């Protein structure tokens, strides 16, 4: 599907600072099954992008615009690719960046988080904080990204609201600031007390949540009449929260120390409007972004953007390659010629698109906070900067993550070694996999390194179907990784249980089969300078 978006006349001569001010760019972080796809649908439904929930993510049994481009995704029912959904809400422009659900692709999710100004942490009311939620929250904290918490699935039995709030405080040190408070326990959900105005917002089940749930606003007196005891209990708990200092503190939220908390049900579309309103009222708008020297690129400087995701094979009809870039300053106008900061080459933006699922709209203009999909972007890699005009700018590169899985790659067809090399290079540039060089194994046997083992499956499949260069992967038994502080010591690190691998960024890694073999080598050679690979999410 392809069409040209007709922007309203008023948008045609826009001021980037004003446009940035009405934008909110965020991503949802959650553990698989917490309801991210459902919430995305519900948000889009509220924004009237789609008329009925179910049209954005096509999971099994649901119809719609599937965001699974690779057949592997389809067969496994997981979403690997990332894109952005843009919609208008109350005179604002919301950019929701999609993140992959599977833990093996967490590296992709981390990169998406470098392109947002805020995150919504989605919890399953019965499960609370789950491992991947915590992992992703840590990245948000590290990057200073403010987090809004949405406790989902309140329409079915779950844990106590106070207990969930305590968990945020005790386990991840995030102070909860509930803006709404549930009336009725999880499973017997009557609605929420809106702590901002003291009103009761009654909840009514709709069949399958296919339309926006009707909200019934009532005063406290009416609420007592309607739901009696449950209302009293919610009101008392809300008082307790105020007494313990858990009311909204916008500064603490901006510093990412405290999180506004909302309760709802994505599948029933309840609480979703609150979430949109909180995004508008409290989430930060795009602001000046520091370049690689730490100098802020002001919003009103000429156009600049950085690539946070590269994707190929999104359109089965064409073998295309799309680079997703977040606009950081100025106005993007389709057709402008930008400079690729790394090579100083010109890059034509004639084919800029916005994408979500298989829907593509041609983007005519974009402003700070927006995501543009640049088609035919063979020159662009993850972390690259594009800009126009002077001064030139380069944003910091993308963080590389500590790989945890290693495999040697060999082509099964020596006649296609050129395609083998080229294919791997492209996958590395897209950020699908890391490529390490081993002096002892040589050029023909590069070592691939991944954060999650499923990345190897993607490499296998794409090398075969896209580059027609099938390969054989031999998994290596390493589980412990250290940075080699002194490359002069590399010869000491070649043993039967360890080896040395070089990364393209110039760093040298030592990999060990296990902790015990690393420690015994260190005991044998105390002069070895081995360091933890820590600053990866810097």
Question: Rule CB under 6 A: which residues touch ligand GDP?
Answer: 30, 32-38, 59, 101, 152-153, 155-156, 265-267
- Least Å from the CB of residue 66 to ligand GDP: 13
Smaller CB separation from ligand GDP, 35 or 369: 35
Residues in contact with 408: Cβ distance below 8 Å, sequence separation at least 6, in sequence order: 441, 445, 446, 447, 448, 473, 474, 476
**Is the CB of residue 466 less than 8 Å from the CB of residue 319?**
yes
Tell me the closest approach of the beta carbon of residue 71 to ligand GDP, in angstroms: 20
- Residue 41 Cβ vs ligand GDP, minimum distance, rounded to whole Å: 8
Q: Is 315 annotated as a binding residue?
A: no
Q: Is 506 marked as binding a ligand?
A: no
Q: In Å, what is the CA distance from 357 to each residue of 81, 169, 242?
A: 9, 36, 42
Distances (CA, A) of 413 to 89, 410, 458, 468: 54, 9, 19, 10
Angle between helix 161-172 and helix 220-243 axes, rounded to 10 deg: 30
Smallest distance, ligand GDP to C-beta of residue 310, A: 23
- Minimum Å gap between C-beta 233 and ligand GDP is 22
Cβ distance to ligand GDP smaller for residue 124 or 384: 124
Residue 305 structure tokens: 């953007």
Question: Dmax over Cα atoms in the chain, in whole Å?
Answer: 81
Contact of 16 with 367, CB cutoff 8 Å: yes
Min dist. Cβ of residue 383 to ligand GDP (A) = 27
Smaller CB separation from ligand GDP, 124 or 430: 124
Closest to ligand GDP by CB, 266 or 471: 266
Pairing label, strands 23-30, 118-124: parallel
| Least separation in angstroms between CB 270 and ligand GDP | 8
CB 230 within 8 A of CB 202: no
Strand partners, 369: none
Tokens for 378, please give them: 């063979």
CA dist., res. 509 & res. 524, Å (int): 19
Compare residues 36 and 321 and give the one whose CB is closer to ligand GDP. Answer: 36
Q: Do 40 and 57 touch, CB atoms closer than 8 A?
A: yes
Residue closer to ligand GDP, measured from CB, 45 or 267: 267
- 211 labelled ligand-binding: no
215 burial (CB, 10 Å; 0-12 / 13-18 / 19+) is middle
Task: Give the list of residues 6+ apart from residue 515 with CB closer than 8 angstroms, or none.
Answer: 480
Pick between residue 187 and residue 290 the one whose CB is nearest to ligand GDP.
Answer: 187
Does 101 belong to an annotated binding site?
A: yes
CB of 312 to ligand GDP, least distance (A): 23
Which residue number has the CB closest to ligand GDP?
Answer: 35
| Nearer to ligand GDP among residue 181 and residue 189 (C-beta) | 189
109 annotated binding-site participant:
no
Could you tell me which residues are annotated as the binding site?
Answer: 98-102
Could you tell me which residues are annotated as the binding site for GTP?
Answer: 98-102
């Amino acid at each position: 599907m392809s069409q040209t978006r007709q922007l309203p006349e008023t948008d045609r001569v826009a001021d980037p600072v004003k446009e940035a001010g009405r934008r909110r760019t965020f991503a949802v972080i959650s553990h698989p099954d917490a309801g991210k796809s459902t919430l995305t649908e519900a948000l889009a439904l509220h924004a009237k992008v789609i008329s009925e929930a179910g049209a954005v993510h096509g999971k099994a049994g649901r119809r719609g615009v599937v965001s699974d481009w690779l057949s592997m995704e389809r067969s496994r029912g997981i979403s690997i690719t990332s894109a952005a959904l843009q919609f208008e809400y109350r005179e604002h422009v919301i950019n929701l960046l999609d993140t992959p659900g599977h833990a093996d692709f967490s590296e992709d999710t981390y990169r998406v988080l470098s392109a947002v100004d805020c995150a919504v942490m989605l919890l399953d009311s019965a499960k609370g904080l789950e491992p991947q939620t915590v992992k992703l929250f840590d990245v948000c904290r590290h990057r200073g990204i403010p987090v809004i918490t949405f406790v989902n699935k309140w329409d079915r039995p779950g844990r106590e609201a106070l207990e969930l709030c305590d968990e945020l405080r005790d386990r991840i040190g995030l102070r909860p600031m509930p803006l709404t408070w549930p009336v009725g326990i999880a499973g017997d959900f009557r609605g929420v007390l809106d702590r901002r105005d003291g009103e009761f917002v009654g909840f009514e089940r709709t069949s399958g949540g296919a339309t926006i749930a009707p909200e019934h606003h009532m005063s406290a007196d009416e609420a007592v009449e309607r739901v009696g005891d449950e209302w009293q209990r919610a009101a008392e708990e809300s008082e307790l929260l105020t007494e313990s200092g858990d009311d909204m503190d916008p500064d603490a939220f901006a510093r990412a120390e405290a999180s506004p908390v909302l309760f709802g049900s994505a599948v029933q579309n309840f609480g979703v409007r609150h979430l949109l309103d909180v995004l508008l009222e409290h989430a930060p708008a795009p602001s000046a972004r520091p370049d690689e020297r730490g100098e802020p690129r002001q919003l009103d400087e000429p156009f600049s953007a950085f690539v946070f995701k590269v994707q190929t094979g999104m359109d089965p009809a064409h073998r295309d390659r799309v680079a997703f870039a977040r606009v950081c300053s100025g106005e993007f106008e389709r057709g402008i010629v930008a400079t690729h900061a790394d090579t100083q080459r010109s890059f034509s933006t004639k084919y800029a698109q916005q994408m979500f699922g298989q829907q593509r709209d041609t983007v005519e203009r974009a402003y700070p906070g927006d995501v543009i999909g640049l088609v035919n972007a063979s020159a662009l890699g993850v972390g690259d900067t594009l800009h126009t005009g002077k001064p030139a700018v380069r944003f910091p590169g993308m963080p590389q993550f500590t790989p945890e899985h290693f495999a040697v790659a060999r082509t099964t067809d020596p006649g296609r070694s050129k395609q083998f090399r080229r294919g791997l290079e492209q996958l590395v540039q897209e950020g699908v996999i890391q490529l390490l060089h081993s002096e002892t194994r040589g050029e023909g046997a590069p070592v691939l390194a991944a954060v999650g083992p499923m990345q190897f499956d993607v490499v296998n499949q794409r090398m075969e179907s896209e580059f027609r260069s099938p390969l054989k992967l031999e998994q290596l038994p390493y589980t412990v990784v250290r940075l080699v502080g002194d490359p002069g010591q590399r010869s000491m690190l070649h043993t039967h249980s360890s080896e040395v691998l070089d990364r393209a960024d110039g760093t040298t890694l030592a990999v060990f089969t296990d902790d015990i073999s690393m420690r015994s080598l260190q005991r044998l050679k105390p002069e070895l300078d081995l360091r933890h690979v820590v600053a990866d999410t810097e």
